[in-house]
Amino acid sequence: MNPQTIARVTGVLFLITYVTSIPAAFFLYPPVLADPNYIVGAGADTSVRLGAFLEVLLIISGIGTAVVVWPVLKRVNEILALGFVTARVMECVFIAVGIISLLTIVTLRQAGAAGADAASLVTVGEALVALNRWTFLLGPGFMVGVGNGLILGYLMYTSRLVPRGMAVLGLIGGTLIIASGAAIVLGVIEQGGAVQTIAVLPEFFWELALGIWLTVRGFNPSALASLLRDSG
Protein backbone atom coordinates (compact mmCIF):
# COMPACT_ATOMS: atom_id res chain seq x y z
CA MET A 1 0.00 0.00 0.00
CA ASN A 2 1.20 3.51 -0.81
CA PRO A 3 2.56 5.17 2.37
CA GLN A 4 0.31 8.19 1.91
CA THR A 5 -2.68 5.89 1.62
CA ILE A 6 -1.54 4.27 4.86
CA ALA A 7 -1.40 7.72 6.46
CA ARG A 8 -4.92 8.62 5.39
CA VAL A 9 -6.41 5.27 6.42
CA THR A 10 -4.70 5.64 9.81
CA GLY A 11 -6.11 9.14 10.15
CA VAL A 12 -9.63 7.97 9.38
CA LEU A 13 -9.29 5.15 11.91
CA PHE A 14 -8.21 7.64 14.58
CA LEU A 15 -11.28 9.75 13.82
CA ILE A 16 -13.49 6.66 14.04
CA THR A 17 -12.18 6.07 17.57
CA TYR A 18 -13.65 9.45 18.51
CA VAL A 19 -16.96 8.82 16.77
CA THR A 20 -17.38 5.49 18.57
CA SER A 21 -16.01 6.33 22.03
CA ILE A 22 -17.59 9.71 22.82
CA PRO A 23 -21.28 8.71 22.39
CA ALA A 24 -20.77 5.55 24.46
CA ALA A 25 -18.99 7.30 27.33
CA PHE A 26 -21.10 10.45 27.57
CA PHE A 27 -24.56 9.53 26.28
CA LEU A 28 -25.20 5.78 26.15
CA TYR A 29 -23.52 4.41 29.30
CA PRO A 30 -24.48 7.03 31.95
CA PRO A 31 -27.84 5.36 32.79
CA VAL A 32 -26.08 2.19 33.96
CA LEU A 33 -22.98 3.89 35.35
CA ALA A 34 -24.80 6.53 37.38
CA ASP A 35 -27.73 4.54 38.78
CA PRO A 36 -26.82 2.00 41.50
CA ASN A 37 -30.30 0.47 41.20
CA TYR A 38 -30.15 0.03 37.43
CA ILE A 39 -29.86 -3.74 37.73
CA VAL A 40 -33.21 -3.96 39.57
CA GLY A 41 -34.93 -1.07 37.78
CA ALA A 42 -36.53 -0.44 34.41
CA GLY A 43 -33.18 -0.10 32.72
CA ALA A 44 -32.10 1.44 29.41
CA ASP A 45 -30.78 -1.76 27.91
CA THR A 46 -30.94 -0.63 24.30
CA SER A 47 -28.74 2.34 25.13
CA VAL A 48 -26.18 0.14 26.89
CA ARG A 49 -26.18 -2.41 24.06
CA LEU A 50 -25.65 0.33 21.49
CA GLY A 51 -22.79 1.72 23.54
CA ALA A 52 -21.26 -1.77 23.70
CA PHE A 53 -21.59 -2.15 19.93
CA LEU A 54 -19.89 1.20 19.34
CA GLU A 55 -17.06 0.18 21.66
CA VAL A 56 -16.58 -3.03 19.70
CA LEU A 57 -16.07 -0.81 16.66
CA LEU A 58 -13.75 1.28 18.82
CA ILE A 59 -11.64 -1.80 19.53
CA ILE A 60 -11.41 -2.65 15.83
CA SER A 61 -10.50 0.89 14.80
CA GLY A 62 -8.13 1.31 17.77
CA ILE A 63 -6.08 -1.75 16.90
CA GLY A 64 -6.28 -0.70 13.26
CA THR A 65 -4.56 2.62 14.00
CA ALA A 66 -1.46 0.70 15.09
CA VAL A 67 -1.55 -2.20 12.63
CA VAL A 68 -2.17 -0.15 9.48
CA VAL A 69 0.69 2.29 10.14
CA TRP A 70 3.11 -0.48 11.20
CA PRO A 71 4.84 -0.79 7.77
CA VAL A 72 5.87 2.87 7.99
CA LEU A 73 6.67 3.15 11.70
CA LYS A 74 8.86 0.04 11.71
CA ARG A 75 11.20 1.93 9.37
CA VAL A 76 11.61 4.53 12.12
CA ASN A 77 12.16 2.09 15.00
CA GLU A 78 10.91 -1.48 14.72
CA ILE A 79 11.00 -2.17 18.47
CA LEU A 80 8.97 0.92 19.35
CA ALA A 81 6.58 0.31 16.45
CA LEU A 82 5.90 -3.15 17.84
CA GLY A 83 5.52 -1.60 21.27
CA PHE A 84 2.86 0.74 19.89
CA VAL A 85 0.89 -2.19 18.46
CA THR A 86 1.18 -4.08 21.76
CA ALA A 87 0.11 -1.07 23.85
CA ARG A 88 -2.88 -0.51 21.58
CA VAL A 89 -3.92 -4.15 21.86
CA MET A 90 -3.62 -4.06 25.66
CA GLU A 91 -5.71 -0.90 25.80
CA CYS A 92 -8.40 -2.63 23.76
CA VAL A 93 -8.30 -5.69 26.03
CA PHE A 94 -9.20 -3.46 28.97
CA ILE A 95 -11.98 -1.87 26.92
CA ALA A 96 -13.35 -5.32 26.06
CA VAL A 97 -13.46 -6.33 29.73
CA GLY A 98 -15.34 -3.11 30.46
CA ILE A 99 -17.88 -3.89 27.74
CA ILE A 100 -18.44 -7.36 29.17
CA SER A 101 -19.01 -5.95 32.66
CA LEU A 102 -21.82 -3.68 31.49
CA LEU A 103 -23.44 -6.29 29.26
CA THR A 104 -23.40 -8.64 32.26
CA ILE A 105 -25.45 -6.08 34.21
CA VAL A 106 -27.98 -5.99 31.37
CA THR A 107 -28.21 -9.79 31.32
CA LEU A 108 -28.67 -10.03 35.10
CA ARG A 109 -31.29 -7.30 35.07
CA GLN A 110 -33.32 -9.01 32.37
CA ALA A 111 -33.03 -12.44 33.96
CA GLY A 112 -33.69 -11.27 37.49
CA ALA A 113 -30.70 -13.42 38.57
CA ALA A 114 -32.89 -16.45 39.27
CA GLY A 115 -34.49 -15.36 42.53
CA ALA A 116 -31.63 -13.35 44.02
CA ASP A 117 -32.80 -10.59 46.35
CA ALA A 118 -32.64 -6.96 45.24
CA ALA A 119 -29.89 -5.98 47.67
CA SER A 120 -27.61 -8.73 46.38
CA LEU A 121 -28.26 -7.73 42.79
CA VAL A 122 -27.48 -4.08 43.54
CA THR A 123 -24.20 -5.14 45.14
CA VAL A 124 -23.29 -7.21 42.11
CA GLY A 125 -24.26 -4.34 39.80
CA GLU A 126 -22.10 -1.89 41.73
CA ALA A 127 -19.16 -4.31 41.58
CA LEU A 128 -19.49 -4.63 37.80
CA VAL A 129 -19.70 -0.84 37.40
CA ALA A 130 -16.58 -0.50 39.56
CA LEU A 131 -14.85 -3.03 37.30
CA ASN A 132 -15.84 -0.99 34.26
CA ARG A 133 -14.41 2.19 35.80
CA TRP A 134 -11.08 0.50 36.55
CA THR A 135 -10.83 -0.96 33.06
CA PHE A 136 -11.47 2.52 31.66
CA LEU A 137 -8.68 3.90 33.83
CA LEU A 138 -6.14 1.20 32.96
CA GLY A 139 -7.02 1.17 29.25
CA PRO A 140 -7.96 4.58 27.81
CA GLY A 141 -6.75 6.26 31.02
CA PHE A 142 -3.25 4.75 31.23
CA MET A 143 -2.17 2.46 28.39
CA VAL A 144 -3.20 5.07 25.84
CA GLY A 145 -0.59 7.36 27.40
CA VAL A 146 2.09 4.73 26.87
CA GLY A 147 1.13 3.82 23.31
CA ASN A 148 -0.56 6.77 21.62
CA GLY A 149 1.19 9.36 23.74
CA LEU A 150 4.81 8.47 24.44
CA ILE A 151 5.60 5.80 21.83
CA LEU A 152 3.66 7.19 18.87
CA GLY A 153 4.56 10.75 19.83
CA TYR A 154 8.26 9.85 19.90
CA LEU A 155 8.10 7.99 16.59
CA MET A 156 6.38 10.92 14.90
CA TYR A 157 8.74 13.42 16.50
CA THR A 158 11.95 11.68 15.42
CA SER A 159 10.69 10.88 11.93
CA ARG A 160 9.09 14.31 11.29
CA LEU A 161 6.25 12.53 9.49
CA VAL A 162 3.93 15.10 11.10
CA PRO A 163 4.82 18.55 12.48
CA ARG A 164 7.10 18.22 15.48
CA GLY A 165 5.01 20.62 17.55
CA MET A 166 2.06 18.27 17.18
CA ALA A 167 4.18 15.29 18.20
CA VAL A 168 5.39 17.17 21.28
CA LEU A 169 1.74 17.51 22.29
CA GLY A 170 1.55 13.70 22.20
CA LEU A 171 4.63 13.36 24.40
CA ILE A 172 3.19 15.82 26.91
CA GLY A 173 -0.24 14.20 26.79
CA GLY A 174 1.14 10.71 27.27
CA THR A 175 3.20 11.80 30.26
CA LEU A 176 0.24 13.52 31.91
CA ILE A 177 -2.13 10.59 31.38
CA ILE A 178 0.36 8.11 32.83
CA ALA A 179 1.05 10.38 35.80
CA SER A 180 -2.64 11.00 36.53
CA GLY A 181 -3.50 7.31 36.10
CA ALA A 182 -0.75 6.31 38.51
CA ALA A 183 -1.92 8.96 40.98
CA ILE A 184 -5.46 7.54 40.89
CA VAL A 185 -4.25 3.98 41.44
CA LEU A 186 -2.18 5.16 44.39
CA GLY A 187 -5.09 7.12 45.84
CA VAL A 188 -3.48 10.53 45.43
CA ILE A 189 -6.22 12.05 43.26
CA GLU A 190 -9.85 11.20 42.55
CA GLN A 191 -10.89 9.33 39.43
CA GLY A 192 -13.00 11.55 37.22
CA GLY A 193 -12.00 14.67 39.15
CA ALA A 194 -10.79 18.01 37.82
CA VAL A 195 -7.11 17.04 37.90
CA GLN A 196 -7.63 13.96 35.75
CA THR A 197 -9.90 15.87 33.35
CA ILE A 198 -7.23 18.52 32.80
CA ALA A 199 -4.51 15.88 32.46
CA VAL A 200 -6.25 14.08 29.58
CA LEU A 201 -6.84 17.18 27.44
CA PRO A 202 -3.41 17.30 25.70
CA GLU A 203 -3.75 13.62 24.71
CA PHE A 204 -7.30 14.22 23.51
CA PHE A 205 -6.22 17.05 21.22
CA TRP A 206 -3.06 15.20 20.10
CA GLU A 207 -4.98 12.22 18.79
CA LEU A 208 -7.69 14.41 17.26
CA ALA A 209 -5.15 16.65 15.55
CA LEU A 210 -3.21 13.61 14.33
CA GLY A 211 -6.34 12.01 12.91
CA ILE A 212 -7.34 15.17 11.06
CA TRP A 213 -3.81 15.89 9.83
CA LEU A 214 -3.20 12.39 8.48
CA THR A 215 -6.62 12.27 6.84
CA VAL A 216 -6.25 15.65 5.12
CA ARG A 217 -2.49 16.03 4.59
CA GLY A 218 -0.93 12.59 5.01
CA PHE A 219 2.74 12.24 5.97
CA ASN A 220 5.26 15.00 5.41
CA PRO A 221 6.47 14.15 1.86
CA SER A 222 10.10 15.11 2.41
CA ALA A 223 10.31 13.25 5.74
CA LEU A 224 8.66 10.22 4.18
CA ALA A 225 11.03 10.23 1.22
CA SER A 226 14.02 10.48 3.56
CA LEU A 227 12.69 7.65 5.72
CA LEU A 228 12.10 5.34 2.76
CA ARG A 229 15.51 6.12 1.32
CA ASP A 230 17.42 5.63 4.57
CA SER A 231 15.64 2.37 5.44
CA GLY A 232 16.16 0.93 1.99
Domain residue limits, the chain:
3-227
pLDDT above 60 for 227: yes
pLDDT of residue 231: 78
Give the dihedral sign, CA 22/126/188/186.
negative
Q: Kindly report the average pLDDT of the chain as a whole number.
A: 95
Q: What percent of the chain has pLDDT over 70?
A: 97
pLDDT of residue 119: 87
pLDDT above 90 for 154: yes
Give the dihedral sign, CA 49/52/57/60.
negative
Q: Could you tell me if 84 and 147 are in contact, meaning their C-beta atoms sit under 8 angstroms apart?
A: yes
pLDDT grade for 43, boundaries at 50, 70 and 90: confident
pLDDT of residue 120: 87
Q: What percent of the chain has pLDDT over 90?
A: 90
Q: Could you tell me if 3 and 73 are in contact, meaning their C-beta atoms sit under 8 angstroms apart?
A: no
Reduce the DSSP state of residue 210 to 3 states and report it.
Answer: helix
pLDDT of residue 21: 97
Instruction: Cite the DSSP H helix spans in the chain.
Output: 3-23, 30-34, 45-73, 78-111, 118-138, 144, 152-159, 164-185, 194-216, 221-230
pLDDT tens digits, residue range 93-114?
999 999 999 999 999 988 775 5
pLDDT above 90 for 16: yes
Q: Could you tell me if 106 and 43 are in contact, meaning their C-beta atoms sit under 8 angstroms apart?
A: yes
Residues contacting 126, CB < 8 A, separation 6+ = 36
| 231 compared with 196, residue with greater pLDDT | 196
Residue range 165-182: mean pLDDT, rounded = 97
pLDDT above 90 for 201: yes
pLDDT tens digits, residue range 48-94?
999 999 999 999 999 999 999 999 999 999 999 999 999 999 999 99
Lowest mean pLDDT among 112-116, 137-141, 200-204: 112-116
pLDDT of residue 232: 67
pLDDT of residue 113: 57
Residue range 19-40: mean pLDDT, rounded = 94
pLDDT of residue 8: 98
